[in-house]
Amino acid sequence: MSYIGIIITFVFINNFILTQFLGLCPFIGVSKNVESAVGMGFAVTFVMALASISSWVIYHYVLVPLDIVFLQTISFILVIAALVQFVELVIQKISPALYKALGIFLPLITTNCAVLGIALINVRNDYNALESFIAGIAAGLGFLLAILLMSTIRVKLDTEWVPKPFRGIPIAFITGGLMALAFMAFDNALLKNLLG
Amino acid sequence: MLKEFTKGLIKENPVFIIVLGLCPALGVSTKVINSLGMGAGVIFVLLGSNIFVSLLKNFIPEKVRIPAYIVIIASFVTIVEMVMEAFLPALYDSLGVFVPLIVVNCIILGRAEAFANKNTVKASILDALGMGLGFTLALVIIALVREVFGLGTITLFPMGSFNGVIEIPGLIDSPVRVFGLAAGALLVMGLLKALFTWIEDIRRVKQ
């Protein structure tokens, strides 16, 4: 698949949150205001891009040559946990301002299904190194797009009247459901028309 | 002691009350059988990780406890993956990427951190069974709503002459397909969560 095809697929057609249900916890939990939603979105994109590349290296240069592919899940989650710790340390040293903005989200990212999800999906799709990296960035941007839309809607919802049992999380799910309905407009037929 | 078991079923239901483990709850709940399979996998992993975390609670250094828990959990997930792929290949395929993703199911790490590392093995086993069954119950409820309205069927395990599929008259010919799609999952989850909140409110007012 072409690189543009991969980008469109992961940002719109197979949007991680709205069609694949990966990364729902932060989508509901961290979308109460726009600023933290954007912070979370960029932190996830960053980690997903790095996780895609490093899991590709581990898979093709360690797991396959040693014939221990069954250890895929364990090794990927360890790589992601180490990566998140490393990114946290580096950002803290290089840019305290960025650390202040992203810092609180980083520990949460280890258990974000989207990050382990992209590593596993890259292997299942048999992507090469560059395709994995692009898929990682695109899936992260899809996450950013969904959480940004959600947070702007939720800020508006705060001032509206909502029936009491629906306040908070339930209305957030319903909003997400309506967003997913809108995202159904992006399908494979669209991709075919765009790329011919 | 029994309270450790029953709390997870309704009062502290991991999906509807604490709102954890959402990705698999929505991702696999298109059919009842997928929910049951996912639930069984999670119960096994939760049981294993709770037992081991509780046994090792005095040996794992405080600072590296989270990575240690993750390794324990990932080992049990690998077992589930291999067993499911070997004996239930159809279920393994329909659960897809959500089988290895049991590793990052927040319920399991959450129980290790919040319960198993401070309690006895016996209490941890009961806690794991209760939470695991509560998770399964929630998934089955979501899947029932989605499958009955979205496909007009209820898919269970095939047994003898029964092929495992119950057809709902009326809905089988003209199902409301949106329930089976991504949007339907989010809408159903929102409505069910609101229902649980409403029931909880009524109970509190009565007391």
Query: Is the pLDDT at A5 greater than 80, yes or no?
Result: yes
The overall average pLDDT reported for chain B is 89
Over 80: is that where the pLDDT of A98 sits? no
pLDDT tens-digit map of B32-50: 999 999 999 999 999 999 9
Residue A48 neighbours by CB distance under 10 Å: 32
Inform me whether the C-beta atom of residue A161 falls under 8 Å from chain B C-beta atoms. Answer: no
Q: What is the pLDDT of residue A103?
A: 63
Residue of chain A minimizing CA distance to B66: A81
Nearest by CB: B189 against A81, A112, A173: A173
Task: Give me the residue from B70, B97, B100 closest to A81, CB to CB.
Answer: B70
Rounded to whole angstroms, the Cα distance separating B88 from B69 reads: 27
User: Model confidence over A146-172: pLDDT tens digits?
Assistant: 999 999 999 998 888 888 888 888 999
ipTM above 0.90, yes or no: no
Residue A84's identity, in one-letter code, is V
Q: Does the pLDDT value for residue A133 go beyond 90?
A: yes
The per-residue DSSP string of B54-101 comes to: HHTTTTS-GGGHHHHHHHHHHHHHHHHHHHHHHH-HHHHHHHGGGTGG
The conformation of residue B154, written as its DSSP 8-state character, comes to E
Residue A179 pLDDT: 92
Give the chain B residue whose CA is nearest to the CA of A15: B182
Q: How confident is the model at residue B192 (pLDDT cuts 50, 70, 90)?
A: very high
Identify whether A158 is part of a domain: yes
Predicted confidence at residue A196, as pLDDT, reads 65
Residue A100 has pLDDT above 80, yes or no: no
Most confident of B106-115, B123-132, B160-169: B123-132
When computed from its CA atoms, the radius of gyration of chain B, rounded to whole angstroms, is 18
Q: Is the pLDDT of residue A116 over 70?
A: yes
Residue A49 in any domain: the answer is yes
Classify B162 as helix, strand or coil.
strand
Higher pLDDT, A153 or A191: A153
What is the span of the domain harbouring residue A34?
7-183
pLDDT interval class at A173 (50, 70, 90):
very high
Please indicate, yes or no, if residue B35 is contained in any of the structural domains: yes
Task: Report how many domains make up chain B.
Answer: 1
Look up the domain containing B48 and give its range: 2-145
Rounded (10°) CA dihedral B114, B119, B125, B131 = -30
Q: Identify the pLDDT of residue A130.
A: 92
Non-local CB neighbours of A37 within 8 Å, separated by 6+ positions: A30, A31, A147, A148, A150, A151
Specify whether the CB–CB gap between B50 and B125 falls below 8 A: yes
Which residue from A20, A77, A169 is facing B103, i.e. has the nearest CB?
A: A77
**Residue B110 sits at the chain A interface (C-beta within 8 Å):** no
In a domain, B179, yes or no: no
Higher pLDDT pick, B6 / B138: B138
Spatial contact of A139 and A73, defined as CB atoms under 8 Å apart: no
Give the mean model confidence (pLDDT) for residues A36-51.
Answer: 88
Q: Please compute the mean of the pLDDT values over residues A65-86 and round it to a whole number.
A: 89
Rounded CA gap, A110 and B104, in Å? 8
Residues 6+ apart with CB under 8 A from A55: A76, A79, A80, A119, A122, A123, A132
Report yes or no on A190 lying in a domain: no
The CA distance from B99 to A73, in Å, is 10
B41 close to B84: Cβ distance less than 8 angstroms: yes
Cβ-Cβ contacts under 8 Å, A81 against chain B: 66-67, 70
SS3 per-residue string spanning chain A: CCHHHHHHHHHHHCCCCCCCCCCHHHHHHCCCCHHHHHHHHHHHHHHHHHHHHHHHHHHHHHHHHHCCHHHHHHHHHHHHHHHHHHHHHHHHHHCHHHHHHHHHHHHHHCCCHHHHHHHHHHHHCCCCHHHHHHHHHHHHHHHHHHHHHHHHHHHHHCCCCCCHHHCCHHHHHHHHHHHHHHHCCCCHHHHHHHHC
Q: Using 50, 70 and 90 to split pLDDT, how confident is the model at A180?
A: very high
In total, the C-beta contacts within 8 angstroms joining chain A to chain B are 122
Q: In this predicted model, which residue has the larger pLDDT, B28 or A30?
A: B28
pTM reported for the whole predicted model: 0.89
Residues in A touching B78 (Cβ below 8 Å) = 70-71, 73-74
In a domain, A140, yes or no: yes
Q: What is the pLDDT of residue B2?
A: 78
Chain A residue with Cα closest to B17: A169
Residues of A in contact with B191 (CB under 8 A): 170, 174
The answer to whether position A94 is within a domain reads yes
Residue B161 has pLDDT above 80, yes or no: no
Nearest CA-CA partner of B44 in B87, B76, B68: B76
Q: Is residue A66 part of a domain?
A: yes
Range B156-173 average pLDDT? 78
> What pLDDT is attached to residue A135?
95
For B201, name the nearest residue in chain A, comparing CA atoms only: A165
What is the reported pLDDT for A104? Answer: 67
Residues of chain B contacting A164 with CB distance shorter than 8 Å: 198, 201
Give the DSSP H or E segment for B176.
none
- Residue B158 within any structural domain of the chain: no
B167 occurs within a structural domain: no
Judged by a CB distance cut-off of 8 A, whether residue B79 touches chain A is no
Q: pLDDT-based confidence at B81, cuts 50/70/90?
A: very high
**Is the predicted pLDDT of residue B135 greater than 90, yes or no?**
yes
What is the DSSP annotation of B185-198? HHHHHHHHHHHHHH
- Residue B170 — pLDDT band, cuts 50, 70, 90? confident
Question: How many whole angstroms separate alpha carbon B174 and alpha carbon A189?
Answer: 25
The pair phi, psi for residue B29, each rounded to 5°, is -85, 35
A111–B187 C-beta distance less than 8 A: no
- Specify if A193 maps to a domain: no
3-state secondary structure of B50: helix
| Mean pLDDT along residues B48-62 | 92
Whether the predicted pLDDT of A1 surpasses 70: no
Q: Per the structure, how many domains does chain A have?
A: 1
Sign, CA torsion B200/A22/B73/A87: negative
Give residue A29's pLDDT band: very low, low, confident or very high (50, 70, 90).
confident
Neighbouring C-beta atoms of residue B173, cutoff 10 Å: 9
Instruction: Determine the pLDDT at residue A92.
Output: 83
